């Protein structure tokens, strides 16, 4: 095998070196190397509707149960409506696989044509040749097949995929197919599967007769975040992966945000991310790698790389204005960031300023009282120097013979106090 390593990657702009495949044998060898890199037995995110990889989440299980229940009740018409990429075709294969032992099945996916083309496709899928026959002759052939199946205790289950492409005349022809019946049972069960445009077409006034014959209208909604994780893990498990989590939590969150919960989008993004991981010799897909893949696979998304975008567009006179607009969200992000940690010098200065403020406040609140106490002390000191102190009075001994002596002592003290005043 001849290989030439050139700077290329499975997604545009990814720095990697991938071997250029020159033949079918080289393709198989590259696929084998890719699987060995991740420890897989087969490709987990292929593009074919392999029933083994069908993830029967809550919504898909409900749809499958409704299809089976409507068929068992022999309700005639059923509709299955889902967005593109929701695994509708894989679910229909699962539905038909469970009926093969009890019914004869036919699956039509070529819906571009008139009533004659549809009848010819139906007979061909049943193993009958409708070449050269007109529409009444093909009707007779189909009626014969239905009667044979009824005698064998079986019915015919017809599934028409991509039914939103049928025009009004073709839909009317499909309605007439339901007239193959006996007084007590329908000989044909018809399932119309398609995208949301099918529901809009059946809601038209001209489709009233067909709409009245629809017993169940089943819809498959996109995956939730938990269902996306289960979908990825299920496909990796079927492919033989047994290692640690191949996609990190950040990568899965980003994948859930930009895949819209559609299985086909999830598989495409996972395949591109794994191809990029193989090219860069990485075995774990993190958030940054998934971010690069989404930016390259979905141009114009919010994750598009600003450098590549500015390089691809020529510089004009209005470029500074565009840069100002792009910088505005960054300023908003910076305002929500945590402030930088303070150093010890800053903390010491703040503490000193706080103590000084408390001390000044305490001195300010006691200033009047301090002046009052100081003035009293000063007045007492001056008075002690100006006014002479009274001479001490010696108390005479008290004698029982002279009882008036205490009174005289008291009077002398009173006279001295008056003289001092």
Give residue-wise pLDDT tens across range 322-338: 333 333 333 333 333 44
pLDDT of residue 301: 57
Q: Is the same domain home to 33 and 135?
A: no
Q: Looking at residues 204-216, what average pLDDT do you find?
A: 90
Backbone dihedral angles phi then psi of residue 181, each to the nearest 5 degrees: -160, 165
pLDDT of residue 112: 83
pLDDT at 276 over 70: yes
Q: Is the same domain home to 199 and 98?
A: yes
Q: Is the same domain home to 72 and 154?
A: yes
Evaluate whether residue 176 is within a structural domain. Answer: yes
Q: Is the same domain home to 205 and 87?
A: yes
Tell me which of 287, 307, 327 is where a domain ends: 307
Q: Is the same domain home to 196 and 78?
A: yes
Number of folded domains that form the chain = 2
pLDDT of residue 179: 83
Q: Is the same domain home to 163 and 297?
A: no
Evaluate whether residue 161 is within a structural domain. Answer: yes
Q: Is the same domain home to 121 and 147?
A: yes
Residue of higher predicted confidence among 212 and 16:
212
Q: Is the same domain home to 72 and 194?
A: yes
Nearest to residue 10, comparing CAs of 289, 199, 304? 289
Evaluate whether residue 326 is within a structural domain. Answer: no
Q: Read off the pTM.
A: 0.64
Provide the pLDDT confidence category of residue 256 given band limits of 50, 70 and 90.
Answer: very high
Element counts in the chain: helices (H) and strands (E): 17, 9
Q: Is the same domain home to 192 and 83?
A: yes
Q: Is the same domain home to 36 and 165?
A: no
pLDDT of residue 28: 82
pLDDT of residue 347: 60
Domain that holds residue 164: 56-220
Provide the pLDDT confidence category of residue 374 given band limits of 50, 70 and 90.
Answer: low
Q: Looking at residues 13-22, what average pLDDT do you find?
A: 42
pLDDT of residue 153: 86
Provide the pLDDT confidence category of residue 243 given band limits of 50, 70 and 90.
Answer: confident
Q: Is 308 exposed, middle or buried (0-12, 13-18, 19+ CB in 10 A)?
A: middle
Q: Is the same domain home to 192 and 102?
A: yes
Task: Report how far residue 103's alpha carbon sits from residue 124's, in angstroms, rounded to the nearest whole number.
Answer: 17
Task: Report how far residue 74's alpha carbon sits from residue 191's, in angstroms, rounded to the nearest whole number.
Answer: 12
């Amino acid at each position: 095998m001849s290989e030439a390593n050139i700077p290329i990657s499975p997604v545009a702009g990814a720095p990697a070196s991938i071997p250029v495949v020159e033949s079918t044998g080289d393709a198989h060898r590259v696929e084998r190397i890719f699987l060995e890199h991740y420890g897989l037995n087969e490709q987990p995110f292929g593009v074919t509707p392999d029933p083994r990889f069908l993830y029967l989440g809550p919504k898909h299980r409900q749809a499958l149960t409704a299809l089976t229940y409507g068929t068992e009740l022999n309700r005639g018409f059923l509709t299955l409506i889902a967005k593109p990429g929701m695994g509708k075709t894989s679910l229909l294969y699962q539905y038909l696989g469970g009926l093969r032992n009890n019914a004869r099945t036919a699956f039509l996916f070529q819906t571009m044509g008139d009533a004659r083309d549809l009848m010819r496709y139906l007979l061909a899928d049943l193993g009958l040749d409708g070449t050269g026959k007109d529409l009444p002759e093909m009707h007779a052939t189909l009626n014969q097949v239905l009667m044979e199946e009824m005698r064998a205790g079986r019915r015919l289950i017809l599934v028409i995929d991509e039914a939103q492409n049928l025009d009004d005349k073709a839909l009317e022809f499909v309605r007439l197919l339901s007239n193959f019946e006996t007084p007590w049972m329908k000989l044909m069960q018809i399932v119309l599967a398609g995208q949301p445009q099918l529901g809009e077409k059946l809601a038209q006034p001209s489709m009233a007769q067909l709409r009245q014959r629809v017993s169940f209208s089943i819809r498959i909604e996109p995956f939730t975040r938990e269902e996306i994780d289960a979908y990825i893990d299920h496909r990796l498990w079927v492919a033989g992966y047994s290692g640690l989590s191949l996609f990190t939590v950040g990568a899965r969150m980003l994948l859930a945000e930009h895949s819209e919960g559609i299985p086909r989008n999830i598989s495409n993004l996972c395949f591109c991310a794994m191809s990029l991981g193989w090219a860069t010799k990485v075995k774990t897909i993190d958030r940054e790698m998934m971010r690069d893949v989404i930016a390259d696979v979905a141009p114009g998304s919010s994750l598009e790389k600003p450098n590549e975008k500015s390089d691809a567009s020529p510089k004009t006179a209005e470029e500074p204005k565009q840069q100002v607009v792009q910088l505005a969200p960054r300023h908003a992000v910076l305002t929500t960031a945590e402030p930088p940690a303070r150093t010890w010098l800053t903390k010491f200065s703040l503490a000193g300023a706080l103590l000084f403020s408390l001390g000044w406040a305490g001195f300010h609140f006691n200033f009047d009282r301090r002046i009052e106490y100081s003035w009293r002390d000063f007045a007492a000191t001056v008075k002690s120097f100006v006014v002479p102190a009274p001479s001490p009075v010696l108390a005479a001994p008290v004698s029982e013979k002279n009882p008036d002596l205490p009174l005289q002592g008291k009077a002398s003290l009173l006279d001295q106090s008056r003289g001092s005043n």
